Every structure is written in C-alpha cells, then in structure tokens.
Structure 1
Amino acid sequence: MSSTALTPEQLSSFSPMDFLTPAYREQLHASLKYLSHPAGTQVLLKGERSLAQYYLLSGKVAVDAGHARQTFEGGSGQAHMPLNGSQPNPATVKALTDVQLFAVEHQLLERLLGWSQDAAYQVNSLGGGMLEEQHDNDEDWLARLLGSPLFGRLAPSHLHALLARFEYLPVEAGQAVVQYGEPGEHFYVIKRGRARISLPQAYREQPTQILESGDFFGEEALVSGAVRSASVIMLEDGELARLQRELFVELVRPTLIPRMSQQELEQRMQAGPHKHLLLDVRLALEYRVAHLPESLNLPVANLRTHADSLDRATCYVVTPEGGIRSELAVHLLNQLGFDAYLLDEGSAEAA
C-alpha cells in the first residue's frame, strides 16, 4: 500500500483538506488509513453510519443513491470529493474493479477544520507586527498542543477564548516554573524552549521526561486539587503560555472530563463492535465493599504503570464512586491516548 500513500501536498487536492492550514494538514496526513477492496465488493451501504470519510484513489466504483447511479474513477475530479460526505451514508458504493481508498476520521477532520479557521485568525492576532516566520512558529506550538489527546475534545468555539486569555511570560534556563509540593495555580504550555520534569526522590528510577514546544504541564494539580506532584525546570531560555486556575476550570476542565450517561453507554454498546469497559479506580478495599456489576478495579495510582496492559481499542468508562479520583483517572487515560469517559453519577445511581 505504500506505493499509493499520499504526500501532504497531494492531500491538499482533496476536499475539504484544501481549507486546512499546513500544520493541521500534516496532522491529518499522519492519521490517514489506506484500504483495498476487490471488484464486486460493497464499500459503503446507504443509511449506515461511518466513523470515517472515504476517498477513491484508484479503480472504479458505482455510487447508487437510490434515485441516481453514477460511476467514479480514481484520479477524476469527482474522486477528489468524499464518497460519503454526510452521515448517514447518502449512497451505496460498490467496487466495479479492484479499488484503493483512503479514510479520514469524521470527528478529527471537523476539529481540524474548526481549529484551522479559528487559529488562523488568532495566531495572526497574537503578535501584531511579527514576521511571517514567527507566525509559523506560533502555529507550530498551537498545532502540537491542539493535536494532543488532552485537547482533542476542545470545541472550536473555546479556542478563540482560550488563546485570548493566555498570559505569555519569558523564562530562563535553570528557572523552576513549578515546584513539588506547592499549590497549583496555573496551567502552562511551552511556547518556546525545553524543560525537564524533576520527580521526588522516591520516583527517581523513572526515566527523565523532557518537555518541548507545544507540551503542557500543571493540569493534574488543577484537576485533582492536590499540590504539585513534580517540579518543572527550564533547560534553556524560552517562553511559556500560562492560564490561571479559574480560567482553566472554566474553559479547559470540562473537556478533560468528558461524561457519558448510562443510556449513551448502552446505545454505544448496541451500535457496533467497539468494546467498552467499566473501570472503578478506587482502592481494592473500597471496591470489595461495593461496586457496579461488571466493573474492573484499577486504582488511579496504578494507571500510569499499568497503561501498557490496557487495550487501546477499548473505550473506558470510569465509574463515579471515586469522586475526584475518578475525574483524574479520566483525564490521565485521555492524556495517555485512550478513549475515556466519566459515567454520569445520576445515571450510575439509577443503574
């Protein structure tokens, strides 16, 4: 399939990828999935819902919308439009020859399109008369930040307000931006420079983590209400974007703890083969006293060390009995790249 892989420049010829800024197009390009279907097989079924938009790269397909039937051929102008640009699928698509396609996740594309429109305006307004190269640098750190699992659910409407409320402060090599044990007052993003996470002595056996442009820190203390769990030391001169605790809670925290009702969980479990698992993150003793049926116990303190044993194809729904620990677990799982939600407390009680 490597012979058919697109370059980011070639991707821009497909609609609506031509509206993406270069940084977001690169991000979308890295997520593309390539598929092959032999002649005579069904590619899409009218009325079904697909998680992705499909584009024809080579071969010929028949597109039957019920009232009209067309044939598309790879490389034609029609093939640069999605086969299923709306949901549910507007037509049944059948391979007339062996075909090759690529798929783009619907939600990712929508987020990147929204970010491209908002960030293009906001980045250009951040520095007034800055040079074009500086605009590009701003877009790079923003693209990396917004492409992280933490901000993957951030609504485009929040982006403008978020960037408008960031404070920007210069920092020097050797400066301790946050220190272990102190209260959490700010959320930070590295706009320029590098930093090192310094852990307490008890955790020194863990590998040193280096933060670079677009990386963030400080959110765990704001989610949990606990003191800082590590220090962050600048390795070189740079610049940070900082958000106050109150603004973080208002603009960002709701996206860190996405919620799911019992009804939504049941609907999703019935809708398709995607696996869902209830996760109880309290201590084992608390779990043994009482817990929701079919839930798995994994204390929040063990999430990071046991992450490699978790299935990334599974959606984890954290039960609410752990209170702030449950919220922190949802955030940590999403930060680690898993799909995680907090089960609504009301729906859990009803269940």
Structure 2
Amino acid sequence: MSEALTLERLRSLTPLNVLSEQQWRELRRQLVPQPVLAGQSLFRRGDRARLTYYLLSGELLLEDAAGTRQRLVAGAEASCHPLSPGLPRLQDALALTDASVLVLDSDALNRLVTWRLAHQDLLLELGQLQDEPEWLERLLDSPLFAKVPPANVRTMLARLQSVELPAGTEVLREGEAGDCCYFLKRGRVEVIRGAGTERQVLAELELGACFGEEALLADCPRNATVTVVEDAQVLRLARQDFVALLKAPVVNEIGLGEAARLLAAGAQWLDVRLQGEYERAHAAQALHMPLQLLRLKARLLDKARTYLCYCDSGKRSASAVFLLSQLGFSCYALREGLDALPAVQRDGLVCESGAGYLARSGGRIERSH
C-alpha cells in the first residue's frame, strides 16, 4: 500500500469504512494511488466501466450534460464518496491540478461490502444472545470465511459442539482416521508431525483457526498431531457438515481451459504431490510444495499471485486450496486431478521431469538443480 494511503484515509472513504483490515488486505493490489495530471480526463459521461473512483489529492472538475459544474477538492466531505457513482456516468471528470485517485474494481468492492454487512447483522444477532461476538468476529475475519455465505455460517454455528481441553491433551493424533474438524475458540494448540528425534512443530494456531480438515478433504488419515499447549476450548464440526457448509463454497475447482486463462494472467501451477511424483513428471514451471509441508512453507508463497493446485486424484489439491484460503491466498484446484484428464491432455500438462522450481523468501522463485 502506498505511504500516502494511510489506514486513517481508508477509514474516511465510504463504503470502504465498513470493511475490516483483512478485507482491505484482500484489495491490497488495488490500494495504490494513481496519478492524474492537470488537464487530464479521468472519465467521461456515458462511461460504463465498472470502476469506483475516489479523489485522494488535488482538485477535479465534474460537469454534467446540462453544464452544471462541481469543483471537488481532496479532503472535503464530498471527496470521501465515490465520484459519479452511477452507470453510465452522468458527468465528465477533469483534473484541474495534478491529482491522485484511488481506482477500485466495483464488483470486488460490492462483494466485500455486502459480505461485511451481512456478517455484521449476524454478529449483532449473536451479540444479543451473548454468544461472545468478539471471538466470532475474529473467526469471520479469516480469509477462509470471505467465501462462505452468511446462511452457511449460521447453520455451522448451530451445529458446532463445544469441547473443553486441558493442557497436554492430544486433540488429533497423526495416523488416526478423521471424522470431524475443529475451530480454536480459546487457548493455544500446536501442530506437530513425527515423534522422537523426527518430531517437528509445524505451527501454533491462532484463535478462530480451523484444523483437522485435511483428513476430511483428502479422505485419508490425520497427517499431523494437534496438542493443547494451554487450556483450550475447541468447537467440533462433523464431517458431513464440514463438506456441505465449508468445503463447497471455499474449494474452487477449474478445468484446463480456465487454468490456461489464469496462467496467461500470471498464475502459477502448484504441484502438491510427493517429491518422487513431481520429479517423474510435472507441469511446465510448476512450483513444488507437497501437501504435508504446505502449512510450514506457505509463508514462502507470494500472496499477490494466484496458484493453481494439482495432484493425481484432486483430493490433495482440494486440501491445499482449503489451507491456502485460510491463509489469504488466491488459489484453485484442478477439477478431479490429473487422473480425470484424457491421456493426451495429461501428457501435455505434465511434460517435464526432474528437479523444478523452489519458493524462496518473499515469494521469489528459483530453478532447482
């Protein structure tokens, strides 16, 4: 975000002021002031571009078809609202001085505002029932829930079962079958893989985090142990409710045609299979990050980039998309995996062998040898 566009300035803009900081982060690539030179036209009457404009600095002249003029100065109350918001535009906008404007995708902004207001109604409703809305607000601010309809959230909350756990309790055990997932409501828990000298702490989860979902998504045994570090309260969600209420809206699946369009726009394949599977054959320029290491290594990915996850059956890639969605990444899973592709398409996609690409700090990608 540009230094000139402060949180205080964002909070002064309507309806941006109703969004959470997490939602602002979702818009981060658009939250950059755009320069406009004196005498330059910003838009004209009749324009139908689905863009929302705000004046951040300088002065603009707005003129309608009747010749009525309005001089707009940055910082004035009128500049806190979108410029000529209706479509088609009813005014011409001309820069009287050098200026800067904020330009946002209207559809993305409207989606976030609608989501936020719908969930505020839910928070108000539950607050009246004294259901600890502060914790729930932290849960709903998770990027995961940006994709979940409010009706699903209401149903999910009604079906959660509260469990109190003392420090030292193993909530989940690596290798066991999974029939539910959990949300952390209070306390501290760690995600651990292996035992003895092979023991590795993968993460300490934040309040509101979902865990145990990977076994449900991939229909496989638990791939890690989750241990309570500090007395905790967790909320249990059964498998069938998880699949219906969370997986369906969160795990976006695409075919090869849509994948090609996204790749052309800068997306990258993310191969979540094992190293041996990757080295045998992988997509051109695919980044290798096996599912069992994804929680640990996701910090190396670039949140400004879209990732297209694939595996053989589609189950591991669905798990990867769900996990990355919790962390705020834009990602999709290849529908039903490589196995569902005709042989000619599969061979055309996974056409490289041997070592490939590695993620480094800050999202930098390097060729491995």
TM above 0.5: yes
TM-score when normalising by structure 1: 0.74
Residue in structure 1 matched with residue 195 of structure 2 by the alignment: 201
Following superposition, the deviation at residue 250 of structure 1 comes to 0.3
Tell me, what secondary structure is at the counterpart of 1:152?
A: helix
Residue in structure 2 matched with residue 113 of structure 1 by the alignment: 113
Amino acid at match of 2:290: V
Q: Contact (CA 8 Å) 1:62, 1:95: kept in 2 or not?
A: yes
1:210 aligns with 2:232: no
Residue in structure 2 matched with residue 331 of structure 1 by the alignment: 322
Following superposition, the deviation at residue 89 of structure 1 comes to 8.0
1:314 aligns with 2:305: yes
Structure-to-structure mapping, 1:218-229, within 5 angstroms: 218-229=212-223
Shift of the 98–109 alpha-carbon distance from structure 1 to 2, 3 Å rule, reads: same
Instruction: Spell out, residue by residue over 1:304-323, the C-alpha distance to the aligned partner (whole angstroms, 9 max, x if none).
Output: 56645544433222346443
Following superposition, the deviation at residue 49 of structure 1 comes to 4.8
1:167 aligns with 2:161: yes
1:296 aligns with 2:286: yes
Residue in structure 2 matched with residue 185 of structure 1 by the alignment: 179
Following superposition, the deviation at residue 252 of structure 1 comes to 0.4
1:277 aligns with 2:277: no
- Which residue of the other structure, out of 21, 25, 37, is the alignment partner of 2:35? 37
Identity %: 32
CA distance in 2, matches of 1:57, 1:182: 56
Q: Contact (CA 8 Å) 1:151, 1:255: kept in 2 or not?
A: no
CA distance in 1, matches of 2:41, 2:260: 29
Amino acid at match of 2:288: L
Structure-to-structure mapping, 1:331-350, within 5 angstroms: 331-344=322-335, 349=342
CA distance in 2, matches of 1:281, 1:90: 50
Amino acid at match of 1:314: R
Shift of the 92–275 alpha-carbon distance from structure 1 to 2, 3 Å rule, reads: farther
Shift of the 214–246 alpha-carbon distance from structure 1 to 2, 3 Å rule, reads: same
Following superposition, the deviation at residue 278 of structure 1 comes to 3.3
Residue in structure 2 matched with residue 259 of structure 1 by the alignment: 253
Alpha-carbon RMSD: 4.0
Equivalent pairs counted in the alignment come to 333
* Unaligned runs of at least 5 residues, structure 2: 346-369
CA distance in 2, matches of 1:233, 1:11: 40
TM-score when normalising by structure 2: 0.71
Deviates more, 1:140-149 or 1:120-129: 120-129
Shift of the 279–15 alpha-carbon distance from structure 1 to 2, 3 Å rule, reads: same
Q: Contact (CA 8 Å) 1:300, 1:325: kept in 2 or not?
A: no
Residue in structure 1 matched with residue 352 of structure 2 by the alignment: none
Q: Contact (CA 8 Å) 2:317, 2:334: kept in 1 or not?
A: no
Amino acid at match of 1:118: A
CA distance in 2, matches of 1:203, 1:55: 57
Tell me, what secondary structure is at the counterpart of 2:248?
A: helix
CA distance in 2, matches of 1:278, 1:334: 16
Amino acid at match of 1:95: A
Shift of the 330–65 alpha-carbon distance from structure 1 to 2, 3 Å rule, reads: farther
Instruction: Spell out, residue by residue over 1:167-205, the C-alpha distance to the aligned partner (whole angstroms, 9 max, x if none).
Output: 233333333322222222222112222223333227866
Q: Contact (CA 8 Å) 2:59, 2:71: kept in 1 or not?
A: yes
* Unaligned runs of at least 5 residues, structure 1: none
